[in-house]
Structure 1
Amino acid sequence: MKVLIATEKPFAKVAVDGIRKEIEAAGYELVLLEKYTEKAQLLDAVKDVNAIIIRSDIVDKEVLDAAKELKIVVRAGAGYDNVDLAEATAHGVCVMNTPGQNSNAVAELAFGMMIMAVRNFYNGKAGTELMGKKLGIHAYGNVGRNVARIAKGIGMDIYAYDAFCPKEAIKADGVTPVDSADELYKNCDVVSLHIPATPETRKSINYDLVNLMPKNGLLVNTARKEVIDEEGLLKLMEERQDLKYVTDIMPEKNEEFAAKCAGRYFSTPKKMGAQTAEANINAGIAAAKQIVAYFKDGCEKFRVNKK
């Protein structure tokens, strides 16, 4: 078996070493394509490989057409909207992600951004504290659970909404489940987004929903850019000078947000949720282990596309 690591933004060396150890211990060959600058390089590299590990790299019909021997693609991370799932299924290719490996890194970033925002972005003026505030977790998956864990230590009052997570599971963590997104936003001082980008969630965080938030509300987005209705949120923040928005996914309208919402808005230059040494290593090695388990035992536990 031949396994390709195709990463425009490479893994750390220690992560690559860990991946290599897993792959070669199984008797497979590992090849690298790092820091590539043209899609043609990727198309050439996939021609004879059986498995691919990617990060934010695009795997579309063209890539799948070129990869005649490909059986599995693993996205090292939770999100997988950079892979065309329907085309992968049509090509008989299994697609997996590595849920949970980046979760703590994303949760810690969310709190770093929360603290920065309530302290007025460290501009020297008096801010507020998170202790005692109501935190709303929108989607209670791996990241949401880590956010709840950290929030308990800070002393926040924690609520969560997840249409697909049983209320009993949320309650078991000492978190209060609510019945709708409207209820979550209406009652929480801070809302942390952890929803995936799907046809149902795209632009679902809109004017009407965020407008339900109490005075001095803070919205934190470490999920996906596509879930935000940027025009609606920008209009609302112009109207409501009390609201703040922080994100690690730079909006299309970043310059407008920065100009019109000065002192109440912040975006990192690039997606940073999983940008820690630990998450980088964990996700890469998990991807390698999943590939080995797939070929050795037929394990498809983390499959995200249809057969």
Structure 2
Amino acid sequence: MDGIFETQPERTDLPLVVMPVVIASMIEPFKKNFAMLENVARVRMYEDFTLDEDTIVERCKDADAVMVIGFHCTDAILDRLPNVKCYAFGGTGVASYINLDKSKERGIRVCNVLHYGDHAVAEHTMALLMELTRHAGALDAQVKQGDWDGADGFELFGKRLGIIGLGGIGQTVAGIAKAFGMKVSAWNSHVPAQVFADLGVTPVDDMNELIAGSDVVSVHMPLLDSTRGIIAAENLEALRPGTLFVNTARAEVIEPGALLARLQRGDIPAALDVFEHEPLTADDPLCKIPGIVLTPHIAWRTDGAYIGLTKQVVQSITAFFKGEDFNVVV
């Protein structure tokens, strides 16, 4: 059939892995990794993109394992696919895409991928920050409309960046920021002292102190049970007017509704790649706030990230069918 790529279709004795949705740029990287599943499992990859739940369920009805790329595996999908025993998610923050408690109760394995997009997300973080400070995209639109007024910039050199979440992505952002001549601090949350020393980053134990003392705040916390809502409304009160705020992590690490309430005051320029409800709709209140830059959760989408991501997704499926562990979350 057109639009479907299959491996070993004649091997009906093998378990079936279905990828019901795929991002076009990932198709070739995935195909290069499917050899790992030879004589282990057959693959059926639908080479289009849809968020229609009924379509996803129909495509996965005979699957033993599902590769989750670009869609939220809702409770309704889990309930309608009782035969699926493994979900391999193409990202790190799987908790906002699959109900981990429900999966655990049902004995379903859920896997994610790690450190595949440290540079991709870090670079997008800086792209968002540069848009806030130098307005390249907005100025491009102005010039093409015959407007030569321009806009004042905000120089990053010498400014203080406060990072919340000094893992792989946060560390990469810190390195780039240091190259810009920024001073970098980070919230000290179980990060070894040597990491701070090696990066030349100042540890700050109190989140309010970090936020209040920063010219730019960038969030890089993974979404875990322990980090859900960890940035509270009280913490956002510490943002001084004019502080730049960037989130390329997960919206759920912030207390629900707290960021919208803070940004609606209109004194915090912000750039966001993640949202409490995705996809974001045009009538969302965030879209009505002036001076905010929004992108559609694509920080991770680069050619380099796809190489590591696709390999790890296939590795996790291969390990599952071989009785091994690889990137197991539950």
The alignment's TM-score, normalised by the length of structure 2, stands at: 0.79
2:86 counterpart of 1:86: no
Whole-Å separation in 2 of the counterparts to 1:181 and 1:22: 44
8 Å Cα contact 2:18-2:63 kept in structure 1: yes
**CA-CA distance at 1:76 after TM superposition:** 0.7
What residue number does 2:58 align with?
44
Asked whether the equivalents of residues 185 and 203 of structure 2 are also in contact (C-alpha less than 8 Å), the reply is yes
Please give the residue correspondences for 1:1-307 in structure 2 after superposition, counting only pairs within 5 Å: 1-7=15-21, 9-10=23-24, 12-24=26-38, 27-33=40-46, 34-36=48-50, 38-80=52-94, 81-120=96-135, 122-123=138-139, 124-197=150-223, 201-202=227-228, 205=231, 207-228=233-254, 232-237=258-263, 239=265, 241=267, 243-249=268-274, 256-259=285-288, 261-262=289-290, 264-268=291-295, 270-296=296-322, 298-300=324-326, 302-305=327-330
Query: Could you list the per-position Cα deviations for residues 75-106 of structure 1 after superposition, in whole angstroms to 9, with x for gaps in the alignment?
Result: 11111111111121122111111021122111
SS in 2 for 1:4: strand
Q: Is the 8 A contact 2:40 2:318 kept in 1?
A: no
Q: Supply the distance in 2 between the matched residues of 1:21 and 1:170 (Cα, whole angstroms).
A: 41
Out of 141-150 and 74-83, give the one that drifted further. 141-150
Q: For the structure 1 residues 28 and 149, does the alpha-carbon distance in structure 2 shift closer, same or farther, using more than 3 Å as the test? A: same
Question: Match of 2:315, SS?
Answer: helix
Residue segments in structure 2 that go unaligned for 5+ positions in a row: 1-14, 140-149
Say if 1:217 and 1:29 are closer, same or farther in 2 by CA, change over 3 A: same
* Identical amino acids, percent of aligned pairs: 26
Superposed CA deviations along residues 25-75 of structure 1, whole A, max 9, x for unmatched, are: x54211123434532332233333232211232334443344444332111
Deviates more, 1:104-113 or 1:2-11: 2-11
RMSD: 2.8
What CA distance in whole angstroms lies between the structure 1 residues aligned with 2:171 and 2:212? 21
Preserved contact between residue 205 and residue 227 of structure 1 (Cα < 8 Å): yes
Question: When the two structures are aligned, how many residues end up with a matched partner?
Answer: 299
The runs of 5 or more residues in structure 1 that have no matched partner are: none
